[in-house]
């Protein structure tokens, strides 16, 4: 169920960005994170901290990608980072709901989280491009662009997984 709600959030953000309906991104993220917090009401504060920290760390590091000219986003609404739309931060917030639940298996191995980030990040960007939410620019070759995205995500994912692990360990 956790994965299903994250994908609802993911599609809401991507399709909202592609169609310039940021309300869709915002509303699906609020709904999915809200349901997650309700389902985990005993540890809702810990889960919320994981989500917020994931959003902050993920957005800060992922914002490097557009600054390097690797992607251009379809939506032009402002965010707290140059060239980095708010819906991307919403995605990170939604992704935070998976880290102590359906993606908790990544906490077993930092190498596994590096590999998963290295391949998963570029795949997510490719899917978002196919749905019209962003464009992987021709500043660099597609291979170079995907390699940079993979490297960024190979750093970001282990960091947010470790954050989730530390917050989760506090519950035990």
Instruction: Quote the number of domains for the chain.
Output: 1
Cα three-residue angle 19-160-90, rounded to 5 degrees: 20
Question: pLDDT (tens digit, 9 = 90+) per residue, 34-68?
Answer: 999 999 999 999 999 999 999 999 999 999 999 89
Question: pLDDT (tens digit, 9 = 90+) per residue, 147-156?
Answer: 999 999 999 9
Task: Return the closest-CA partner of residue 35 out of 68, 9, 16, 73.
Answer: 9
Task: Return the closest-CA partner of residue 147 out of 81, 65, 87, 59.
Answer: 65
Q: What is the pLDDT of residue 169?
A: 78
Task: Yes or no: say if 79 and 89 are a contact pair by the CB < 8 Å rule.
Answer: yes
Q: What is the pLDDT of residue 56?
A: 95
Chain position carrying tokens 């939410």: 133
Residue 162 to residues 25, 63, 141, 156, 158: CA-CA distances in angstroms? 27, 20, 32, 10, 6
Question: pLDDT (tens digit, 9 = 90+) per residue, 59-91?
Answer: 999 999 998 989 988 776 766 677 889 999 999
Alpha-carbon distance 51 to 44, whole Å?
10
pTM above 0.85, yes or no: yes
Domain carrying residue 53: 2-169
Q: Which residue has the higher pLDDT, 140 or 78?
A: 140
């Amino acid at each position: 169920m956790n994965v299903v709600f994250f994908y609802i959030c993911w599609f809401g953000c991507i399709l909202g960005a592609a169609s310039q309906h940021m309300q869709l991104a915002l509303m699906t993220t609020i709904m999915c994170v809200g349901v997650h917090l309700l389902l985990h009401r005993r540890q809702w504060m810990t889960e919320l901290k994981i989500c917020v920290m994931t959003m902050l760390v993920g957005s800060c590091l992922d914002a490097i990608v557009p600054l390097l000219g690797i992607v251009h986003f379809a939506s032009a609404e402002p965010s707290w980072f140059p060239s980095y739309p708010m819906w991307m931060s919403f995605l990170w917030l939604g992704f935070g709901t998976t880290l102590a639940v359906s993606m908790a298996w990544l906490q077993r191995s930092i190498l596994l989280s590096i590999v998963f980030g290295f391949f998963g990040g570029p795949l997510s960007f490719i899917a978002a491009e196919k749905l019209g939410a962003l464009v992987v620019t021709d500043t660099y070759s597609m291979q170079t662009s995907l390699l940079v995205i993979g490297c960024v995500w190979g750093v970001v994912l282990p960091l947010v997984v470790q954050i989730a692990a530390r917050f989760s360990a506090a519950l035990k």
